[in-house]
Structure 1
Amino acid sequence: MAARLFRQRDLYMMLLPAVLLVFVFWYVPILGWIIAFINFKPGFSLFPAEWTGLQQFKDFFMQSTDYMYLLRNTLSINIGSLITNLFTAFVFAILLNEIRSRFFGKLVQTITFFPFFVSWVIIYSLSSALFASSSGAINEALVQWGVLDEGVNILGDPKYSWIFMILLSAWKYLGYNSVIFIAAIASIPAEHYEAAEIDGANRFQKIWHITIPGLIPTLIVLLILNSGWILNSNFEQFYLFTNGTNWEKMEVLDMYIYKYGLKLLNYPYATAVGIMKTFISLMLIIGVNAISKKATGKAIF
């Protein structure tokens, strides 16, 4: 063991900076979790503070009903986004692989990848310009054409909030998510397609019997990995699109933590909610991995 470590010392030295970064920015901050269990006041030391135990967790689950709509919003939007993102990327990668023109295929992939590099600030500005109820270009056009009597308030009406966030996320991450599936398709041996063609299989049959089964393991791995992020939301996205009329359907756990931690300065309460979110996410990824292992025989650990 020691001899192998010595022989591979150069590789471990290359890995060391990444390990240090992960340790410093992901594990050291865990020490701050103690704030959830003490009566912490900004500007004072942590350790002389009064020990409050699980009081903040009790306040969240027993003294408040906020967790009900927070979990409803977070799970509905994030699970919907996860399923939609993976499904659209899965289908898009298959269709892109069937394009025979190499130039056109690269062009389509580049165009769909571009939104990933567009910030949510710009996306919000575009959405406002297109979908604002009174001045949005699409609403104005539909009213002028007689399709609608008045503009639809997509950005403010709560009944559109979930589906709008899910579709925006699918549009933004389509090209990025499809790269993994495209790489998985490239790893399928060409001999499989050649053998199927000799047997008389058409393009649809090759997709159904070769491409899709070849992508299923990648889909399962992505599903397991992303299940641990179901309670994590893109803060920038929700901060921009949440307003006074749709907050009841848009306020998610990350926005709630921001509100109590940085706006109301209730650090112990916000930290307790963050700890709860972390442990639930850990249980989710373990549970999804166990279900996948039992149902399909495929898992990541």
Structure 2
Amino acid sequence: MKLQSLPSVEIVSLPKPSARKETFWRRLGRQWDLQVMVLPGIILLLIFSYLPMWGVLTAFQDYDLSSGFFASPWVGLKHFQILLTDPLFLPVLKNTIVISILRLVFAFPAPIILALILNEVRLPVFKRIVQTISYLPHFMSWVIVAGLVISALSVDNGSVNMALLQLRIIHEPVNWLSIPECFWTILITTGIWKEIGFSSIIYLAAIAGVDPNLYEAADIDGAGRLRRLWHVTLPCIVPVITIFLILSVGQILNAGFEDILLLTNRGDNAILREVSDVIDTYVYRVGLTDFRYSYGVAVGLFKSIVNVIMLVVANFLARRLGETSLW
């Protein structure tokens, strides 16, 4: 039987589709619905964050309200030279740095510790009660919080003095807000009490994302609660802690404004000024109250530049020492 040869089939290669790179405007048009959703936020950001940056130029002027922004004379770095030679600014800078460091040492780890403790609570009802109570102070304004603190520390029927008198720790009421040595403790403690619950939400969410298999493996190895906490939970939330630590270091000269201003009676408490005067209150007093607008803007610009430098340095160190950084 003779086999017939099959006809040869010619394979025709299809032309490759043109790999035309999608342009920015074409991609923008394809995502028009998403861009419309983002547009209101972009407009608000431009109006309230970028347009006011033109006011930074007044730091290089002798700004006068009657002359206006464009007619005020330019003076270059005059206000920065005054700032660096002002004998009153060095104590202000020292107070700002010390209060910020105290916040980093005591206030920053407080919500982490609370989140770790709440994660170990096995009674859901008790856990929810504690979370609710710790969240509430965050939603109160500093006006209310400062009023509560001043009332609690008052000489006349203040709860703190009454408790200390009953315990015979003191023999007569003490005006705590007139003792400079106690102000930093009152300020840091009040800030922790107000923000510890709300700040712990982020760390609780990070802990909830830890792989349960890691805990099971730790249990098999015989690890107790403390060892699981130290060897499993903490290493898993280190990236979140690092990010917020970088952001906190980047705000090293933001020692507070509302809390200090209200606890010192709008800055009129002269006894506490040597320990409570920070850059923000200094700008408020000198720039707005004394009508030295250009000098106040120069101080604020100095603070922002230092904060940016500290942010870049902290991010660089975090990237060199670990794998987590902002960029």
Q: TM-score range by the shorter chain?
A: over 0.9
How has the CA–CA distance of structure 1 residues 41 and 121 changed in structure 2, closer, same or farther, with 3 Å as cutoff?
same
Q: Which amino acid aligns with 2:249?
A: S
2:110 to 83, 88, 95: 88
Assess if the C-alpha contact under 8 Å between 1:76 and 1:162 holds in 2.
Answer: no
Counterpart in the other structure of 2:239: 217
Counterpart in the other structure of 1:274: 300
2:69 to 46, 51, 71: 46
Higher mean C-alpha deviation, range 82-91 or range 141-150: 141-150
Report the aligned-residue RMSD.
1.5
Paired residue secondary structure (2:108): helix
How many angstroms apart in 2 are the aligned matches of 1:37 and 1:23?
23
Counterpart in the other structure of 1:74: 96
Higher mean C-alpha deviation, range 265-274 or range 14-23: 14-23
Higher mean C-alpha deviation, range 270-279 or range 34-43: 34-43
Assess if the C-alpha contact under 8 Å between 2:96 and 2:279 holds in 1.
Answer: yes
Counterpart in the other structure of 1:110: 132
Answer 1 or 2: which has greater helix percent.
1
Q: Structure 1 residue 263 and structure 2 residue 263: aligned?
A: no
Superposed CA deviations along residues 238-272 of structure 1, whole A, max 9, x for unmatched, are 11112221111001101011111211111011011
Assess if the C-alpha contact under 8 Å between 2:97 and 2:255 holds in 1.
Answer: no
How many angstroms apart in 2 are the aligned matches of 1:184 and 1:13?
31
Alpha-carbon offset, residue 150 of structure 1? 2.5
Assess if the C-alpha contact under 8 Å between 1:86 and 1:219 holds in 2.
Answer: no
Q: Which amino acid aligns with 1:159?
A: E
Counterpart in the other structure of 1:254: 280
Q: Which amino acid aligns with 1:160?
A: C
Alpha-carbon offset, residue 15 of structure 1? 1.3
Alpha-carbon offset, residue 231 of structure 1? 1.3
Paired residue secondary structure (2:311): helix
Paired residue secondary structure (2:115): helix
Alpha-carbon offset, residue 165 of structure 1? 0.7
How many angstroms apart in 2 are the aligned matches of 1:295 and 1:223?
14
How many angstroms apart in 2 are the aligned matches of 1:88 and 1:272?
34
Identity %: 35
Assess if the C-alpha contact under 8 Å between 2:92 and 2:278 holds in 1.
Answer: yes
Counterpart in the other structure of 1:205: 227
Alpha-carbon offset, residue 60 of structure 1? 1.0
How many angstroms apart in 2 are the aligned matches of 1:126 and 1:32?
37
1:13 to 36, 39, 53: 36
Q: Which amino acid aligns with 1:246?
A: L
Q: How many residues align?
A: 300
Assess if the C-alpha contact under 8 Å between 1:225 and 1:285 holds in 2.
Answer: yes
Higher mean C-alpha deviation, range 284-293 or range 124-133: 124-133
How many angstroms apart in 1 are the aligned matches of 2:42 and 2:33?
14
How many angstroms apart in 1 are the aligned matches of 2:56 and 2:216?
57
Alpha-carbon offset, residue 10 of structure 1? 1.6
TM-score by structure 2 length? Answer: 0.87
Q: Which runs of 4+ in 1 moved over 6 A?
A: none
Which entry has the higher C-alpha Rg, 1 or 2?
A: 2
How many angstroms apart in 2 are the aligned matches of 1:220 and 1:21?
29
Assess if the C-alpha contact under 8 Å between 2:150 and 2:263 holds in 1.
Answer: no
Counterpart in the other structure of 2:14: none
How many angstroms apart in 2 are the aligned matches of 1:189 and 1:43?
64
Alignment of structure 1 residues 162-241 onto 2, 5 Å: 162-241=184-263
Paired residue secondary structure (1:44): coil
How many angstroms apart in 2 are the aligned matches of 1:20 and 1:119?
27
Paired residue secondary structure (2:176): coil
Assess if the C-alpha contact under 8 Å between 2:257 and 2:280 holds in 1.
Answer: yes
Assess if the C-alpha contact under 8 Å between 1:60 and 1:66 holds in 2.
Answer: no
Counterpart in the other structure of 1:153: 175
Unaligned runs of 5+ in 2: 1-21
Assess if the C-alpha contact under 8 Å between 2:214 and 2:232 holds in 1.
Answer: yes
